Structure 1
């Protein structure tokens, strides 16, 4: 399987788009997350939306779902849109009184945790996608929804994908979760996509780190002073480079050298590509990552074979 880096930036990146991957296997493509800048990133990669057959969503932040509305409208089968009340009646009869589906021939599968999939429509996509001329639309108008239950994997092109729930944000006493992916197949490397996640519970995810041969790791570089090698501050909702590297000032649980050696860092700030840190210091982040024992930082356009 090929893993193409479509985007590797954070929510505010204008250089590296939003973090996103395209998996390619057997002539099929699966997109992992679809942030606001991902449709443009796909064009940059030479991939048309119609060439994506499956989309996986990890959580409901705009830099991971903001491009879904554009994808939905671009792939909608406009020839099926009702143009009169008679047409509308036919649609109602077809969709509500006859077994079948409502989506068109180009509608990709949309895979997510079952609760997340419900929230995705009700709290995010519905605001723009339920306003169709002539009829009421639903998530099924544009996608083939595939809700995934807890502790149940899904399969794509012979690969098994386990959803790994992790902490992204603590909203008071409520967890804003994210679902990473552990991709495995007999005879191939096992890959772990952490998606957005804090570094507060590495003990809980250590088993998945150890199972993986390759780890695409959320990595925030804000508040990391590379001049003094000190961790000054962080957002608290992403794993910081200093935490992952085990700098003493980060005061965090340290990862083993074996785990760090498998980590490719992504979801970083634009200043990384400009060879600066957030304090204006010159910094070769790629060299720094090597010195700290990581496999490296990913870059847009790279491809990994597993």
Structure 2
């Protein structure tokens, strides 16, 4: 699989775009979250909304869902030879997030006689239910209340026959989220949000290193980090973790 980091920054980033990704799986392109900066980051990476085959939404903070409606609308209002040729947007969500997401989208989409379903096709997954994308297995795990109290949130595991990645999305209380429960001998990368200063809703570097056993540190890929990350370069080297960088493709 090839992973394209469209952005790696936190909600208030001014330099790194929101923490959104494209995962290239054989002939399919899976978008991970659709934050408000998507309209810029997608184009900068050389992609268009119509290139995306499906989008996974982890939770409803604006840096993860703020650009979704525009994406849906741009795909729907396509014209070929003067004829309306709409493209529905396939959205993958945990079953718990389906109703809140539809409620959010209906304010902009459910008008002029149309419903949200006219624009979207939802793939609604239960806990541990496997969804196949090409030769890969996609499963969602529940991290609700471990990012922000009272907030529904979800990570995922993406696996081929011999390797998998774990994507935490946003997590503060790692032990409660039980991220390690989804890591196994075939895990080649753990995409973990990391804050390099105190943060009430994101795990700090110290919390991340304390949670994961030493043998997993080299598999950690820090994302959703502070704009001033260069100030912590020495700490990062000492920690023996990887830093995901905007626009630098990863291959697993």
* TM-score in terms of structure 2 length: 0.90
SS at match of 2:30: strand
- Say if 1:139 and 1:145, in contact at 8 Å, map to a contact too: no
Runs of 4+ in 1 over 6 A off after TM superposition: none
Quote the Cα distance in structure 2 between the aligned partners of 1:112 and 1:27: 21
Shift of 1:200: 4.0
Quote the Cα distance in structure 2 between the aligned partners of 1:160 and 1:31: 15
Quote the Cα distance in structure 1 between the aligned partners of 2:213 and 2:70: 42
Shift of 1:267: 0.4
Higher radius of gyration, 1 or 2: 1
Aligned with residue 160 of structure 2, among 169, 173, 185? 185
1:267 aligns with 2:248: no
Q: Deviations over 1:215-236 (max 9, x none)?
A: 110112233xxxxxxxxxx21x
Quote the Cα distance in structure 2 between the aligned partners of 1:238 and 1:10: 10
1:161 aligns with 2:161: no
Aligned with residue 172 of structure 2, among 198, 207, 216? 198
Shift of 1:78: 5.9
Q: Deviations over 1:72-116 (max 9, x none)?
A: 11111466xxxxxxxxxxxxxxxxxxxxxxxx6522311101221
1:147 aligns with 2:119: no
Uncovered stretches (5+) of structure 1, i.e. residues with no partner? 80-103, 224-233, 247-253, 276-282
Shift of 1:290: 2.1
Q: What is the RMSD of the two structures over their aligned residues, measured on CA atoms?
A: 2.1
The aligned counterpart of 2:197 is 222
Uncovered stretches (5+) of structure 2, i.e. residues with no partner? 80-84
Quote the Cα distance in structure 1 between the aligned partners of 2:110 and 2:62: 18
Q: 1:196 to 1:292 in 2, by over 3 A?
A: same
Quote the Cα distance in structure 2 between the aligned partners of 1:36 and 1:261: 31
- Say if 1:56 and 1:110, in contact at 8 Å, map to a contact too: yes
The aligned counterpart of 1:126 is 106
SS at match of 1:55: strand
**Equivalent residue pairs, number:** 246
- Say if 1:209 and 1:259, in contact at 8 Å, map to a contact too: no
Shift of 1:27: 2.6
- Say if 1:199 and 1:240, in contact at 8 Å, map to a contact too: no
Quote the Cα distance in structure 2 between the aligned partners of 1:146 and 1:162: 12
Q: Following superposition of structure 1 onto structure 2, how do residues 1-306 of structure 1 map, counting pairs within 5 Å? A: 1-77=1-77, 105-122=86-103, 124-131=104-111, 135-166=112-143, 167-171=146-150, 176-187=151-162, 189-201=163-175, 204-211=178-185, 212-223=187-198, 234-235=199-200, 237-246=201-210, 254-272=211-229, 275=230, 283-285=231-233, 287-294=234-241, 296-306=242-252
Quote the Cα distance in structure 1 between the aligned partners of 2:244 and 2:62: 21
